Each structure stands twice: as C-alpha cells, then as structure tokens.
Amino acid sequence: MSRKSGNRFSDKDMRKSEEAGNAKPLVPPPAIDRAKLAELRFLVEEFHFEYAAVLDRCEIERWPEFFTEDGVYRLIARDNADANLPLSLMSCEGIGMLKDRAYAIAHTEMFAPRYIQHFISNIRVRAFEEPYITAEANYLVLETLIDEPTRILQSGKYHDVLLQQGETLLIKERRCIYDTVLIPTCVVYPP
C-alpha cells in the first residue's frame, strides 16, 4: 500500500513544544562564568523556596509582594501554548490585578479548605542581563483536601524574568506552562 503523508497521530506533536512558549532552540549553557552562574542559581533557588513557602502556607495576600509593580503572571495550559492560543487560566498584568486576584482568593471565592505543597526543581539560569535574570524551573503542586488522598494538581514549568535588587529578586514576568491540561476540579492558588 502506498501511504500518503498522512497524520499518524504519533507522539511527535506532544514533544514539539519542549521549549513551550520560549521559542528558542536548546542552547548551550549561558556565557556566564561558573562562579557567577552558581551565585545566580542560588539566588533564584532561594527565591523559589520563599515563594513556595508563602503559597504553601496559603498566605495568598502576600503573593503580590514577589512581583515588580509592572509584574506579569500568566498560568497557561500546555495545549494552548502549543497552539499559540493566548488564553490563560489566570492572567495578571501589574500589581493591581495581582492584588485583585489575591483578594478574590482570600475573600470572595468559595472553595473547600486545602493543603498545597510546591516542589520546584531543575532550576536553570538561561541568561543574565543585569539586572534581569532569565530562568526556568520545573514545578509540581500537590493538593490535599479533607478526607481525600493527596493528588497532583499541576505539573508544569516556570519561565521567569526576575529583577535583581541587591540580594533579593522580584518577578518581572512569570509564565507557568502546565502539562496537567485536564484540571482536577479547579486551581485555586496560583502555582
């Protein structure tokens, strides 16, 4: 049988956006000397851990403190990113929208109480153009509801531009691209 160049629904489509939303091909390590790279990675790692600690304690109204005044936060399903569709599950442009999102979670949304735990790994510094650090990390968020087993809420990747101010960092832009496209019920707290 002569087979035309048909769609065989292979898994190549699932891989095509390994760098989802980043558009850059895989590149060698950034041209930063190793000592500087280690220093930056430590800074970024400390930042992730503090961010996770605040969210894991559900102190959502402190969440905007991690952003610059013009900080952007987007939570985007992997399939939308792959298809260049612009819809976000959560989208905040600037500190006002970040605070409004935090206020809604803290005061207007109705949801069952829950524990969440972030696990952030594979931290990579991709570029440093003072004072901005471009970085990526994998994240996993586990969620536990009353009388229910712990489940994976999201598996995703952070694509960050972080502003360095002395020893501290602030998020200029965070795009969270999540593979867990079929969301179990809802995502209350931003990853």
Partner 1 sequence: MTNPTRFEEAAAFHPRESIADLKWPTDPAEIPDWVYTDRRVYDLELERIFLGPTWNYVALEAELPRPGDYIRSYIGSIPIVVARDKAGEVHAFENRCAHRGAEFCKTYRGNAEQFICPYHQWTYDHSGALVSVPFRRGVKGKGGMPADFKLDEHNLRRLDVTCRHGVVFASVSDKMEPLEDYLGSEILDQFDTIFDGRKLKILGVHRNTLPGNWKLYQENLKDPYHATLLHTYLTTFGLFVAGNKTAIMTDAKGRHSTLCNARPQGRPSDDESKAEIRSFHAAMQLADPRVIQLIPEKNTPWTSNAITIWPNLILLRQTNILGLRQIVPMGPHQFMLIWTTFGYADDTPEMEQHRLRQNNIFGPGGFLGIDDNEALKFVQDGLRRSVPRHGLAPLGNDEESEDTVITDRAIRSMYRHYRESMGF
Q: Answer left, alpha or beta for residue 97, where phi above 0 means left and psi between -120 and 50 means alpha.
A: alpha
Min CB(111)–partner 1 separation in Å: 5
> Which residue, 18 or 46, is less far from partner 1 as judged by CB?
18
Structure tokens at 113: 């109480």
Structure tokens at 175: 């795009």
Min CB(112)–partner 1 separation in Å: 6
Q: Does 108 bind partner 1 (CB under 8 A)?
A: yes
Q: Residues 29, 93, 121, 168: which binds partner 1 (CB under 8 A)?
A: 93
Q: Residues 90, 127, 142, 163: which binds partner 1 (CB under 8 A)?
A: 90
Residues 113-142 as x/- pattern, contact with partner 1 by CB under 8 A: ------------------------------
Q: Residues 54, 58, 95, 127: which binds partner 1 (CB under 8 A)?
A: 95
Contact, 137 vs 157, CB < 8 A? yes
| Closest C-alpha among 153, 177, 152 to residue 18 | 177
Q: Which helix (H) or strand (E) holds 36?
A: helix 34-56
- Site stretch for partner 1 (CB under 8 A), options 30-38, 47-55, 130-138, 175-183: 175-183
Q: Does 87 bind partner 1 (CB under 8 A)?
A: yes
Question: In this structure, are strands 168-178 and 67-77 parallel, antiparallel, or unpaired?
Answer: parallel
**CA separation for the pair 127, 174 (Å, rounded):** 15
Residues 2-21 as x/- pattern, contact with partner 1 by CB under 8 A: -xxxxxxxx--xx-------
Interior angle at CA 154, CA 135 and CA 87, nearest 5: 75
| Count, residues near partner 1 per rule CB under 8 A | 48
